[in-house]
Every structure is written in structure tokens, then in C-alpha cells.
Amino acid sequence: MKKAFIFDLDGVIVDTAKYHFLAWQKIAQELNINFTHEDNELLKGVSRVRSLDIILGLGNVQVSQADKDRMLIEKNEEYLSYLVDMDESEILPGVLKILKLLKEKNQGIALGSASKNARPILEKTGILSYFDVIVDGNDVTNAKPDPEVFLKAAQLLNIDPKNSIVFEDSVAGIQAANIAEMVSVGIGEETILHEADHIFKDFTQIETSFIEELIG
């Protein structure tokens, strides 16, 4: 049976979550806001604009719209500076094996990411051609935990949400997948991603048999 396998990007396919964190930390420092790794969990899977609002909220700081716009540009420039030399070495361990397996088994493969930088990242890492469908931050109006991004991906693949599987490292993304009634697979810590149907520390922990069972 053909199912939809929908992958989040940052922190699932590539190890970019750390760069988002560093770039936000720089903004937080400028605002004298203490911003920890724990706080960062709130930002995973969340849009750029919403992320800034969360950071401002953490510090109970208010700024003008013009300052917000400037900070959003600054954050993205800082983030992009980490991606300049990006290549396939940034793909997280075990990901390529799963993508190859899904292609061999003729499954639908989609990207479902909040990032507006998704396409250049897939190009730089050389894996763009694995994806039948890409839905990213440029294509949706409602951010995760709203299921829009995943529902759109399944729709473009012409596969029922119930026959879709989502790989996610963020709480917001797992919630989005659950709301969409898709199978949610958390990639990361069980303590954080406990709402997921299945949880793996990383893709190296996912056996071929698990994927075969999902395909059915």
C-alpha cells in the first residue's frame, strides 16, 4: 500500500535546530533576556514570527513593530551564516537509509516544515530529489500545532491523512500530526515527545521492519 511519509526538516533531517537556537540566543542576549535550551523547546517547529513573540514574552519585553522586523531579519541572517558551508554531512545519521528504503518501496515522501529556508537546505544537502512534495513555511498560513502543513502534504500526495506518518522532533509538530489523525513518530527525548505514537532517539534506532509494518 502507498502511504505518505512526511518529514519535518529542522532537527529531523538536518541538525539545524542548534543553529536556530544560537541565532535566537544572540537576539535574546541583545534584549537582555535569559534564553535556555529548555526555553528553546517551545520554539521548535514554531514559525519565525511566533518564535520572536515567545522570546519577548519570556523576558516580558515589548518592542515596536519596526524593531521586531529588524530582529527577524537579523535572526535569519545569523541563522543563514551557519548554513553557508552546509553539505550532506549535516544530514542526521540514519535519515538517508530510511529515505532510500521508502523510495525503493515506492512510498509517498513529503517535507512538512515551518521553515522558509527549507528548499535551499534540501538542495545544499543533496536530498531534494527524494521528496515528491514539499510544503514549507512559504505555503501555510497556520503554524504547527495547526495540522495545515501536514494535511496539505498528504493532500498533494493524494493520500488519506489516516494513511500518513509524520516524523517530528518538536512538541508542536507531534501535536499537529495527532490532530491530523496521522501516525506521529517523535525523534528525540521521550520526556519531551511523550504525546507521540512512537518515539526514537534518532533514525539509527528505526529498524527496517518498523517502516515495513507502517507500510502494511
Residues with catalytic function: 8, 10
What one-character DSSP code corresponds to residue 92? P
Task: Look at residue 157 and give the partner it binds from Mg ion, ligand BG6, none, a contact being a CB closer than 5 to 8 Å depending on partner kind.
Answer: none
Work out which of 8, 41, 136, 148 binds Mg ion, going by CB under 5 A: 8
Per CB under 5 A, 147 contacts Mg ion: no
Query: Which residues does 82 contact at the CB level (< 8 Å), separation at least 6?
Result: 16, 19, 22, 23
- Cα 180 to Cα 41, 102, 115, 215: the distances in Å are 21, 22, 20, 18
Closest distance to ligand BG6 from the beta carbon of 206 (Å): 20
Mark the segment that binds ligand BG6 (CB under 6 A) among 110-118, 159-167, 197-205, 206-214: 110-118
Work out which of 28, 55, 86, 114 binds ligand BG6, going by CB under 6 A: 114
H or E stretch covering 95? helix 95-104
CB-count exposure of residue 186 (10 Å: 0-12, 13-18, 19+): buried
**Structural Rg of the chain based on CA atoms:** 17
Q: Which residues inside 121-150 make contact with ligand BG6, applying CB under 6 A? A: 137
**Separation of alpha carbons 81 and 79, rounded Å:** 5
Work out which of 25, 113, 163, 175 binds ligand BG6, going by CB under 6 A: 113
| Closer Cβ to ligand BG6, 12 or 163, answer by number | 12
Q: Which residues inside 152-211 make contact with ligand BG6, applying CB under 6 A? A: 170
Interface residue list for Mg ion (CB under 5 A):
8, 10-11, 169-170
